[in-house]
Amino acid sequence: MEMYSEGTTPGDEWNTLGYQHLGCPSGGCTSVSNFLEDMWFYIPSSSTALQATEYDPGVYDGSYKSFASMQCDSNSGDWRFWDSAANSWTILSSTGGTLPVYKCNILSEENSWHHYQLYVTMNFTSHTITYETFVVDGVTVYSDIANKYDALAYAGTPTINIEQQIDNHTADVTDSEYLDNYNLWVW
């Protein structure tokens, strides 16, 4: 799959979001608590103004939205966590504590495929998302980190969801990203 983002107005930023609602397993969306997002992505050298790439597995359980997303941000140069309840990107724990900060250099590693794996657990009783392990190109970025955030209260149709997004920070460019072998394993 190719995602592209094209900016034409000077000073504006442009984002492209792709998503797929996958429905729920036979036991319901809250019958699974383990999620492994596993895919390959490719950033061509023509993508010169990417501000960020992000990958977002999530669950709507009918009353809460639980998203476990990682973002490679070119402004900070860091991998950042999505805090669902705060509705924002962060490098801090849910209690404001300091987490190890890992640099993300994949936006400058163009014209090659990168392997992304994110393992998270979700607790639909306490409405929490816990980041467990994150691996890029076979290198463990975070392992057994147990970084936990609260879910966001949200009324909606229950479904398991995947999203991907690219953000531009410059106008008059067309940036793209390719995704392949995209899998979301749940159990």
The ranges assigned to domains in the chain are 2-9+27-186
pLDDT tens across 8-51, in order? Answer: 665 555 677 788 889 999 999 999 999 999 999 998 877 777 77
- Check: pTM over 0.85? Answer yes or no: yes
pLDDT of residue 68: 93
pLDDT tens across 100-140, in order? Answer: 778 888 877 889 999 999 999 999 999 999 999 999 999 99
Residue 177 has pLDDT above 90, yes or no: no
What is the rounded CA–CA span in Å between residue 4 and residue 47? 9
Residue 169 has pLDDT above 80, yes or no: no
88-119 b/e (C-beta count within 10 Å ≥ 16 → b): ebbeebbeeeeeeebebebbeeeeeeeebbbb
> Mean pLDDT across the chain, nearest whole number?
86
For the domain bounded by 2-9+27-186, which CATH number is listed? 2.60.120
**Paired tokens of 87:** 């509705």
- CB contact set of 24 (below 8 Å; sequence gap of 6+): 31, 158, 159, 160
